[in-house]
Chains A and B, each alone.
Chain A
Amino acid sequence: MTTTGPQLDLSGMQQPSDTRDGRPATIAEATKKRLSSPWASLVAVVLAVLWTIPTFGLLISSFRPARDISTSGWWTVFTDPNFTLENYELVLSPEGTNSLAPYIINSLVIVIPGVLIPIMIASLAAYAFAWMDFKFKNVLFVAVFALQIVPIQVTLIPLLSLYADIGIAGTFWSIWLSHTMFGLPLTVFLLHNFIREVPKELLEAARVDGAGHVTIFFRLMLPILKPALAAIGIYQFLWVWNDLLVALTFAGSSQNVAPMTVALFNLTGQRGSQWFLLTAGAFVSIIIPVLVFLSLQRYFVRGLLAGSVKG
């Protein structure tokens, strides 16, 4: 996104104040002025606090004994503090029947290819759709885009019977393939839009230097796309990490393949009597996405703003 357009508009609007102050206002200064209003700050802080309270309550609950969780609210800890690590012990101990440990590994085994495969295919496809000429290109692109509106639920039974026929139902392959299929339409579309934004001159220059499509893709596009790939990677990561339906349907609940979400779902026990464990389980399952998000966050912000090259 270039900054030229908005800047012109805004400076036009800012004319009167500029002449009065006698110095030109840049868009950054104008924005800063608007955002640093004390009222705006107050609203932002209040929103942030409100937003965090439920998670905070969950965190506190995860350290409370089972009986307390089911009989009183988490805020009572301030007057009557009573903490235990037992919930985390139950959820993390490797021997226990409630252990999430094996499922964390399964989730990682599912999520890494589940993110890399669709992004790899999608970046290639998006490049082809954006910069190569072939027959029915637009029809195909619209078809890929339109696939987004197919709800996952209608594909479950046909896909499962296909997987059962070729003998991969109940294995990681079925989950990887499904996440690739479900992730591709949106990923192709988003990456296509990023790739379209790259100035034509850049590609022409590369071509004049003798680069073919392969060279252009790997040496020119991939470095430019890094923020976009990271942003889409985070989306896909969260989607695959939090998925219950796809994994449960195609791979089942065996301890060899089931991800964390299945274990969390079963954690409450046969009659839901162990739901106090959910608080600790939820925090264990949050850790990895939070780490991924924090480590990719700078790309994420850039990815939202970027999609173009510098000047």
Chain B
Amino acid sequence: MNGTRTRRGYKAAAAAGAGFALLLAGCSGGGGGDDDSTAEPSADCADFESYGDLSGKTISIYAGIVAPEDQPYIDSFKPFEDCTGATVDYQADKQFEQQILVRAEAGNPPDIAIVPQPGLLAQLVGTGTVVAAGEGTAANVDEFWDPAWKEYGSVDGTFYAAPSGASVKSLVWYSPAQFEENGWEIPTTLDDLQALSDDIAGTGIRPWCAGIASDAATGWPVTDWMEDMMLRTAGPEVFDQWIAHEIPFNAAEPTAALDAVGGYLKNDEYVNGGFGDVTSIASTAFQDAGLPILDGQCALHRQASFYAANWPEGTEVAEDGDVFAFYLPSETADDRPVLGAGEFVTLFADRPEVQALAEFWSSDTWANIKAQASSELTGGGWITANTGLDQENLVNPIDILSADIILDENAVFRFDGSDRIPAAANSAFWKEATAWITGQSTSDTLDKIEAAWPAS
């Protein structure tokens, strides 16, 4: 009896001991960060004096941005930590969009969350846990961002969240070598694009490759296609009305836009290079969809700037490299509608150190530190619409192209609409878009999305 008891007791003690050891290890790790900051006061700390001394304060950040793109974020807060003495605790996982709602509703939110969608921001504001941005942050956003961006970070007229990173969706990937070999030119109008597609189809390869499979969100690349077309064929004003549901989802303009997409994606002459016929679009993972360009089995792939990360290691992404992208043209060469997306720095705590970090985050200083960190650690892959961004800090050609497009004075930027519409309508949009690829008619598709729009 004694033997049994002692053994059980020993096991339990060992387990508890292991647990404590790990907890202690976690604590001492945090302490180590503080030591570094006192040991090495940086020369540029003058910029941080206004935030005061924040020693011993910890700011928790929760995001959906995981390795390898998390490290540049963590490093970009280093100067702030070194100069103010605060500690930034960055956590991320890919379940972010569900977990942040659970945490907000349970009253256990982080201090700051990086929210990738205005629709999600509105939902979070609805839980009553989000804190409005401070004056310093608002002043920075007024100074450095296009007013449209401030609007995306606002809910019901209150400005909550400053924008952070951005991505450009209106891009078409291609192979510069293949274009040169065949004498193809980069199109500057939609008509040119059509003519180019016909040209390529004439040579026997299917010009476009596409893939929309993406787990639970299968179908989203089609929604991007449609929104891009909507911006081009109907114009930004009608696009805004459509997203705000001031005109029905199945009105004449959206129908025309989706039919225009169908002219490419549901055209057996045009798709699906390297994969098969039209229906193979639905079963091809969006991550793999552009890869046939490398083998010359396909020439054009419309996908956002972040697709740069999907090319296999060793692929040179540059204007004279293996692959590059051009701006998806509009009806005339002077129209520059840009579809894009971005992240918003959402605060759940009003403590001075949290507001201070948010203010730093919205400044041009941070944008440049972050751009440098991304360039060094991940070879780029990050841009922002912060006009204070010095393009010298970008190394990746696709980042430079994206920044040029997004910061262009003639550009009319619109945030991805499917991220702004109600969640129910958004998931109907993905599902019906998938059904549309596999044969459903345009009018049925749009009617069903319209029917799924929440009544209120």
Nearest chain B CB to A149 CB, angstrom units: 22
Give the distance in Å from the alpha carbon of A46 to the alpha carbon of B214 in the complex: 33
B residues 90-125 with Cβ under 8 Å of A? 91-95, 99, 102-103, 105-108
CB–CB B15/A218 < 8 A: no
Contacting residue for B66 out of A120, A158, A266, CB 8 A? A266
Q: What distance in Å separates the Cβ of A17 from its nearest Cβ neighbour in chain B?
A: 49
Q: Are A253 and B107 in contact, CB atoms less than 8 angstroms apart?
A: no
Q: For residue A256, which residues in chain B have a CB less than 8 angstroms away from its CB?
A: 22-23, 25-26, 29
Known: A109-B19, A113-B19. A252 touches B62 (CB 8 A): yes
A-side contacts of B106, CB under 8 Å: 156-161, 164
Q: Does more than half of chain A's interface fall in helix, strand or loop, or is it mixed? A: helix
Is A161 a contact partner of B66 (Cβ separation < 8 A)? Answer: no
Asked whether any CB of chain A lies closer than 8 Å to the CB of B45, the reply is: no
Check if B67 sits within 8 Å of A249, measured CB to CB.
no
- Tell whether B309 is near chain A: CB-to-CB under 8 Å: yes
- Are A271 and B287 touching (Cβ within 8 A)? yes
Which residues of chain A are near B147, meaning CB under 8 Å? none
- Judge whether B91 and A116 touch: CB under 8 Å: no
**A235 on the B face (CB < 8 A):** no
User: Is A109 within 8 A of B4, CB to CB?
Assistant: no
Interface flags, A240-271, vs B, CB<8A=1, else 0: 00001000110011101110001001101111
User: In this assembly, does A177 line the interface, its C-beta being within 8 Å of a C-beta of chain B?
Assistant: no
- Contact present for B15 and A273 (CB under 8 Å): no
Whether the Cβ atoms of A222 and B4 lie closer than 8 Å is yes
Q: Are A273 and B309 in contact (CB under 8 A)?
A: yes
Interface status of B43 (Cβ within 8 A of chain A): no
Q: Please, which residues of chain A bring their CB within 8 A of the CB of B291?
A: 70-71
CA–CA, A109 and B94, complex, Å: 23
Q: Using Cβ atoms and an 8 Å threshold, which residues of chain A touch B306? A: 270-271
- A171 neighbours in B (Cβ, 8 Å): 23
Does B93 lie within 8 Å of A156, measured CB to CB? no
CB-CB under 8 A from B309, the residues of chain A are 269-271, 273
Task: Name the CB-closest residue of B to A161.
Answer: B106
- A254 and B105 in contact (CB under 8 A), knowing A249-B99, A269-B309? no
Cβ-defined partner of A218 (8 Å) among B5, B11, B69, B313: B5
Residues of B contacting A156 in the complex (Cβ-Cβ under 8 angstroms)? 102, 106
**Contacting pair A172 B23 (CB below 8 A):** yes
Q: Does A135 contact B (CB under 8 A)?
A: no
**Per-residue CB proximity of A170-202 to B under 8 Å, as 1/0?**
111000100000000000000000000000000
B62 surroundings in chain A (CB, below 8 A): 252
B313 and A163 contacting across the interface, CB-CB below 8 Å: no
Whether, in the assembled complex, A105 has its beta carbon less than 8 Å from a beta carbon of chain B, the answer is yes
A residues 18-69 touching B (CB-CB < 8 Å): 66-67
Encoded as 1 (CB less than 8 Å from any B CB) or 0, chain A from 193 to 223 comes to 0000000000000000000000100110010
Cβ of B22 and Cβ of A172 under 8 Å apart?
yes
Most buried by A among B25, B91, B92, B291: B91
Determine if A272 is an interface residue (Cβ-Cβ < 8 Å). yes
CB distance from B182 to the nearest CB of A (A): 23
- Which of B4, B93, B108 is the one whose CB lies under 8 Å from A248? B93
In the complex, the answer to whether B67 meets A97 with C-beta atoms within 8 Å is: yes
Q: A272 — which chain B residues lie within 8 A by C-beta?
A: 214, 285, 287
Number of B residues contacting the other chain (C-beta, 8 Å)? 47
Complex Cα gap A71–B291 (Å): 9
Is residue A152 within 8 Å, beta carbon to beta carbon, of the partner chain? Answer: no
What 0/1 readout, one digit per residue, does chain A (68-109) give for beta carbons within 8 Å of chain B?
A: 001100000000000000000000000001100000011011
For residue A206, give the distance in angstroms from its CB to the closest CB of chain B.
Answer: 12
Most B CB contacts (10 A, CB to CB) among A66, A109, A215 go to A109
Alpha-carbon gap, A215 to B1, bound state (A): 8
A266 contact set on B, CB distance < 8 A:
66-67, 92-94
Cβ of A266 to closest chain B Cβ, rounded Å: 4
Q: For residue B286, give the distance in angstroms from its CB to the closest CB of chain A.
A: 8
> For window 373-404 of chain B, which residues contact chain A by CB distance below 8 Å?
none
Pick from B16, B99, B103, B312: contact of A113, CB below 8 A: B16
Query: Which residues of the partner chain A approach B285 to less than 8 Å between Cβ atoms?
Result: 272
Give the CA-CA distance A219 to B4 in the complex, in Å: 8
**A169 interface contact, C-beta 8 A:** yes
Out of B1, B12, B23, B91, name the residue touching A253 (CB < 8 Å).
Answer: B91
Q: Would you call B313 and A271 a contact (CB within 8 A)?
A: no
Cβ contact within 8 Å between A157 and B105: yes
Given A219-B1, A271-B287, A271-B306, A97:B68 Cβ within 8 A: yes
Whether A275 is near chain B, meaning CB under 8 Å from some CB there, is yes
A–B Cβ pairs within 8 angstroms, 14 of them: A98-B67, A109-B15, A112-B18, A113-B15, A116-B12, A160-B102, A161-B107, A163-B108, A164-B107, A169-B108, A171-B23, A218-B1, A262-B93, A271-B287
- B residues neighboring A (CB under 8 Å): 1, 4-5, 8, 11-12, 15-16, 18-19, 22-23, 25-26, 29, 62, 65-71, 89, 91-95, 99, 102-103, 105-108, 214, 285, 287-288, 291, 306-307, 309-310, 312-313
Known: A116-B12, A270-B67, A270-B69. 18 other contacts (CB 8 A): A106-B22, A113-B15, A116-B11, A156-B102, A157-B102, A163-B108, A164-B106, A164-B108, A171-B23, A219-B1, A256-B23, A257-B22, A258-B93, A265-B93, A266-B93, A268-B94, A270-B68, A271-B310
